[in-house]
Amino acid sequence: MKVFVTGGAGYIGSHTLVALLAAGHEVCVYDNFDNSSPVALARVRQLTNRDMAVVEADVRDNDALTRALTDFAPDAVVHFAGLKAVGESNDIPLRYYQTNVTGTMNLLAAMDAARCKRIVFSSSATVYGEAQYLPFDEEHPIAPTNPYGRTKAMAESVIGDWASATPDASAVLLRYFNPVGAHESGRIGEDPQDIPNNLMPFVAQVAVGRRAKLSIFGDDYDTRDGTGERDYIHVVDLAAAHLAALEYSARAVGCEAINVGTGQGITVKELVAAYEAACGQPIAVEIAPRRPGDVASSYAATTKAERLLNWCAALDVDDMCANSWLWQSENPMGFEGD
Ligand code: NAD
Ligand code: UFG
């Protein structure tokens, strides 16, 4: 199968490329390297011993996108390209809407021009907003609480309307919970450009000596140990979910939103303890005030993914921490070292 992958050089994209190439698919990556490095693609080539086409361009550039899609003529598209920092989305909302919403609209129009009718989209559990009940199932009301989440909810709606209006179209909206970890080789992984916003990359940078200590944002939540509880999903499992979604899209029409998580909540303190075991050293922490906008608990109902995609997570928190640590310890400055 020919697969067009926007944002393929990024964290989740690069791991999905490994799975796609290993399964024998032909791939074209479309990425402007806004938050990624071409080194990640070189490493993917080394890992798989396979090549891929690469177009360096922006999803906001309608002409370039249409040209790339019509030239490659894919069977399906996986759409990772986007901006993802919740805090930043409050400061530069228009850039988020242009990239995440207009970029998605451009992509669908370019798919029409290339007669491509299958898309797998990177959505997020953040579209649910505050939990009205747990676990979050796909019927939970959509009520995002920040601009980033609203761009994802809007892009979902646009894709759903496109799928309704396009005969035989198939769209899968994958709502990721908290992707973490790295490829087991330690050759690719998450490489935040700035101070990490997310828990595991921050912990990894403390472990490797790039940061002094982790601030735990609140220990007075209504959880087992008072710290926030999340559904961490290994990025290699997440990559496999994309292959399962592509297979599903070949046999289904319409648009489906599907959670991608393990269904298990893990607290901040539990994750830190697992990381300490993986790296064999203590992680310095301090208790800090709650981070505005954080919820106590978030975890997925996973039955829809099992039913429709025949997919469930295989890797656990120890795998997530061990693989993250291998990546971080062998690449302390991320891809910058190359
Ligand atoms: P990432 O930043 O590592 O990857 C995104 C990729 O898109 C990067 O390679 C970046 O260079 C590219 N990109 C950004 N703007 C672009 C543009 N205008 N034109 C072309 N390419 C552009 O992020 P990731 O963690 O791999 O996330 C991938 C997708 O998954 C994103 O859409 C993100 O919103 C979504 N998502 C991520 C998480 C998470 O925690 N990592 C959770 C839920 C959803
Ligand atoms: N946390 C800390 N210290 C830190 C960073 C995080 O204690 O330095 C805590 C948070 O308070 C939270 C937990 O660790 O309890 C997880 O926080 P993350 O920032 O790693 O993840 P979030 O659940 O807040 O958000 C992530 C992504 C969003 C996405 C959401 C749902 O950042 O983009 O998961 O999938 F929408």
Instruction: Say which residues have a Cβ less than 8 Å from residue 333's Cβ, sequence separation at least 6.
Output: none
- Percent of the chain exceeding pLDDT 90 equals 96
Ligand in nearest proximity to the CA of 201: 2
Return the ∠ at Cα 295 (arms to 192 and 153), rounded to 5°: 70
How much is the pLDDT for 273? Answer: 98
State the chain's mean pLDDT as an integer: 97
Q: Taking Cα atoms as reference points, which of 307, 85, 313 lies closest to residue 192?
A: 85
- Amino acid found at 298: S
Which ranges of the chain does DSSP label H, i.e. alpha helix? 11-22, 38-48, 62-72, 86-91, 93-96, 103-113, 147-165, 199-207, 235-251, 268-279, 303-304, 317-330
Per-residue pLDDT tens digits for 214-258: 999 999 999 999 999 999 999 999 999 999 999 999 999 999 999
Question: Do the domains 199-229+264-298+321-337 and 2-182+232-262+301-313 match in fold?
Answer: no
pLDDT at 337 over 80: no
Cβ atoms of residues 118 and 56 within 8 Å:
no
Determine whether 148 is an active site residue: yes
Query: For residue 284, what are its two tokens?
Result: 């310095």
pLDDT at 338 over 80: no
Q: Where are the domains of the chain?
A: 2-182+232-262+301-313, 199-229+264-298+321-337
Give SS3 for 103.
Answer: helix
Q: Is 126 in the pocket of ligand 2 (CB under 6 A)?
A: yes
Per-residue pLDDT tens digits for 139-155: 999 999 999 999 999 99
Pick the CATH number of 2-182+232-262+301-313 from 3.20.20.140, 2.40.50.140, 3.40.50.300, 3.40.50.720: 3.40.50.720
Instruction: Say which residues have a Cβ less than 8 Å from residue 139's Cβ, sequence separation at least 6.
Output: none
- Amino acid found at 133: Y
- CA-CA distance, 212 to 205, in Å (whole number)? 9
Ligand in nearest proximity to the CA of 198: 2
N-terminal to C-terminal alpha carbon distance within the chain: 32
The confidence band for 331, taking pLDDT boundaries of 50, 70 and 90, is very high
The stretch 43-67 carries a mean pLDDT of: 98
Helix (H) or strand (E) holding 29: strand 26-31
- CA-CA distance, 48 to 44, in Å (whole number)? 6
Cα(10) to centroid of ligand 1, in Å?
6
**Nearest-atom index, ligand 2, CA of 176:** 35
Cβ atoms of residues 159 and 111 within 8 Å:
no
Instruction: Say which residues have a Cβ less than 8 Å from residue 6's Cβ, sequence separation at least 6.
Output: 13, 29, 30, 31, 59, 77, 78, 79, 80, 81, 103, 107
**Nearest-atom index, ligand 1, CA of 40:** 9
The confidence band for 293, taking pLDDT boundaries of 50, 70 and 90, is confident
pLDDT at 288 over 90: yes
Ligand in nearest proximity to the CA of 123: 1
Ligand 1: residue whose CA is nearest its atom 39:
179
Q: Is 178 in the pocket of ligand 2 (CB under 6 A)?
A: yes
**Nearest-atom index, ligand 2, CA of 149:** 36
- CA-CA distance, 30 to 146, in Å (whole number)? 27
The stretch 60-89 carries a mean pLDDT of: 97
Half-sphere exposure of 230 (CA within 13 A, CB side): 22
Per-residue pLDDT tens digits for 188-212: 999 998 899 999 999 999 999 999 9
Instruction: Say which residues have a Cβ less than 8 Å from residue 165's Cβ, sequence separation at least 6.
Output: none
Cα(14) to centroid of ligand 2, in Å?
21
CATH number for the segment(s) 199-229+264-298+321-337: 3.90.25.10
pLDDT at 186 over 90: yes
Per-residue pLDDT tens digits for 80-95: 999 999 989 999 999 9
How much is the pLDDT for 209? Answer: 94
pLDDT at 24 over 70: yes
- CA-CA distance, 259 to 85, in Å (whole number)? 20
Among residues 30, 96, 128, 148, the one annotated as catalytic is 148
